[in-house]
Amino acid sequence: MKISIEKSCYMIFTKSTREELNLDLKIIGDNLKRQDDIKFLGIRFDSRLTFSPLIDELKERCNSRLNLIKILSYKNWRLHHRTLGNLYKSLIGSILDYNFPCLNSLSDTDIKKLQTIQNSAVRSIN
């Protein structure tokens, strides 16, 4: 197994607002880059563990899929509400379920952002 220095970086998790320190970490003689947010297994982590970048990304992804449900919910298509509900579960619910472990530590404002997506989906399905 070979480590890719270009893809490797480090992050310091802290709630402190004081001056952040930069470490001189090296792998095979090359310095590692420090980043303030990292995407790992599809989940975006920020250095303060607020998950705000993750919520913004989730909102964008869910809204684009929600637009598809809104189009299909027009009366001319005559899709049953169960079909639209299954579409919601597969297109949007799967995204929220995958990120569920992070949702426990969200702020109230971030939870409200996700709640607006679900409310809009319910209005479109019914």
Angle of helix 52-72 versus helix 108-125 axis, rounded to 10: 10
Whole-number Å distance between alpha carbons of 62 and 43 = 15
Q: What is the mean pLDDT of each run of 10 residues along the chain (126 residues)?
A: 84 76 83 87 84 88 89 81 90 86 82 89 86
Which residue ranges make up each domain of the chain?
9-46, 52-125
Q: What are phi and psi of 53, to 5 degrees?
A: -60, -35
Query: pTM for this one?
Result: 0.71
Place of tokens 């949007």: 92
Give bridge partners of residue 30 from the DSSP assignment: 27
Q: How many CB atoms lie within 10 A of CB 18?
A: 6
Question: DSSP strand E in 2-46: where?
Answer: 9-10, 26-27, 30-31, 33-34, 37-40, 43-46
Task: Quote the pLDDT of residue 86.
Answer: 92
pLDDT at 78: 77
Other Cβ atoms within 10 Å of 83 Cβ, number: 14
pLDDT of residue 20: 67
- In this prediction, residue 90 carries a pLDDT of 92
